[in-house]
Amino acid sequence: MKIITHPDHIQSWCLEQRCSGARLALVPTMGFFHEGHLSLMRWARERADLLVVSLFVNPTQFGPREDLKRYPRAPERDAELAGEVGADVLFMPQAEEMFPEGHATWVEVPQLSRGLCAVNRPEHFRGVATVVTKLFTLTMPTLAVFGEKDWQQLAVIRRITRDLHLPVKIHGRPTVRESDGLAMSSRNVHLSDQERAQAATIHRGLRHVADLVASGETDSSFLLSALGEMYAQEMPLGRVEYLAMVDPDQLYPVEEVGDSILLAVAVRFSNARLIDNILISAKK
């Protein structure tokens, strides 16, 4: 596996491979790999001639009071894991090379960057959209793979790709979970033992709402209220940031559960902010 650190070098290498007819897959990450990341890499590896994995903790998607410095990092371990799953290149640029002094160009999708995570992270999706667009222009992938846990991010990236006519196919892959249902996340390492035990309630609550819908309840206000009460009782160490039922494509709130809605939540613990979601349908 090659490790490339400079944007010009990754672009030259990828351009050479594409000109030779190779299908490139890209898996963008911020590192500290867990099984969720590795599952994306394995899936992409099977569908392309070459696999590029990017590892870049993007400073532009962190707010001034967020955990950029505390974001977990293990680059040597990550490189070893990426090589084991078959990555051909690990792209590990420095922030000053991706966003050099004087950088003034941003990519935004305002319609999808409101609500949900954007309420408390207003500049987050501008940073995500910009860095992903940069990665696409540098690596020129045939396909790119993202986890569905970050659903709003995935929706933004799909819209960018469509609206800018970028020649890359976007694939979302199901969330990988621990045995108790907690969505795998690099930030889970910051949970205390008590918080980790309570964090399993996040997914259990989502499944509880899905069961209520299956039994015939479709009113979003009632369902979200029931979920909030469950979290308050079973997860006292977590502060709910949002509970929302939205259209999975446009992300606008829905009042009734129909054919398909996205139930999304964010919960903040003392040193970690966790998100999760599931798709729910009232269709029998």
CATH of the domain at 229: 3.30.1300.10
End-of-domain residue from the set 148, 173, 198: 173
**8 A C-beta contact, residue 244 and residue 115:** yes
The active-site residue out of 6, 9, 37, 171 is 37
What pLDDT, on a 0 to 100 scale, did the predictor assign at position 284?
60
Given 140, 173, 206, the domain boundary residue is 173
pLDDT of residue 63: 85
Alpha-carbon span 262 to 249, nearest angstrom: 9
Same domain, 209 and 88: no
Closest C-alpha among 66, 69, 117 to residue 95: 69
- Are residues 40 and 142 located together in one domain of the fold? yes
- On whether both 37 and 114 belong to a single domain, the answer is yes
Instruction: Output the pLDDT for position 186.
Output: 96
Q: Which structure tokens are listed for 110?
A: 């305002």
282 domain-assigned: no
**Domain contains 283:** no
Q: Look at residues 145, 173, 201 and tell me which one is the last residue of a structural domain.
A: 173
Q: Which residues pair with 277 in a beta bridge?
A: 264
The 10 Å CB-count burial string (b at 16+, else e) for 99-128 is beeeeeeebebeebbeebbbeebebbbbbb
162, part of any domain: yes
Residue 156 lies in a domain: yes
Q: Are residues 22 and 110 part of one domain?
A: yes
What is the domain count for the chain?
Answer: 2
Q: Which residues of 155-178 are buried (b: 16+ CB within 10 A; e: fewer)?
A: bbbbbbbeeeebebebbbbebbbb
Residue 75 shares a structural domain with residue 130: yes
Question: Is the pTM here over 0.85, yes or no?
Answer: yes
Same domain, 142 and 198: no
Cβ pair 86, 77 in contact under 8 A = no
> Is there a single domain that holds both residue 222 and residue 165?
no
* Judgement on whether residues 60 and 194 belong to the same structural domain of the protein: no
Instruction: With respect to residue 179, please indicate whether it lies within any of the assigned structural domains.
Output: no
Tell whether 98 is covered by a domain: yes
73 is a domain residue: yes
In a domain, 237, yes or no: yes
100: domain CATH number is: 3.40.50.620
User: Does residue 49 sit in the same domain as residue 146?
Assistant: yes
Three-state secondary structure call for residue 68: coil
In the residue annotation, 203 being an active-site residue is answered as: no
pLDDT value at residue 169: 98
Q: How far apart are CA 216 and CA 235, in angstroms?
A: 26
Residues in CB range of 181: below 8 A, 6 or more apart? 200, 202, 203, 204, 207
Using CA atoms, how far apart are residues 56 and 89, in angstroms rounded to an integer?
Answer: 14
The one-digit pLDDT tens for each residue of the chain (284 residues) are 999 999 999 999 999 999 999 999 999 999 999 999 999 999 999 999 999 999 999 999 998 777 788 999 999 999 999 999 999 999 999 999 999 999 999 999 999 999 999 999 999 999 999 999 999 999 999 999 999 999 999 999 999 999 999 999 999 999 999 999 999 999 999 999 999 999 999 999 999 999 999 999 999 999 999 999 999 999 999 999 999 999 999 999 999 998 899 999 999 999 999 999 999 998 76
Structural domain of 127 = 2-173
Shared-domain flag, residues 96 and 33: yes
Residues 136 and 197 reside in one and the same domain:
no
Q: What is the CA radius of gyration of the chain?
A: 19
What lies within 8 Å, CB to CB, of 178 at 6+ separation is 184, 200
Residue 141 sits in the same domain as residue 251: no
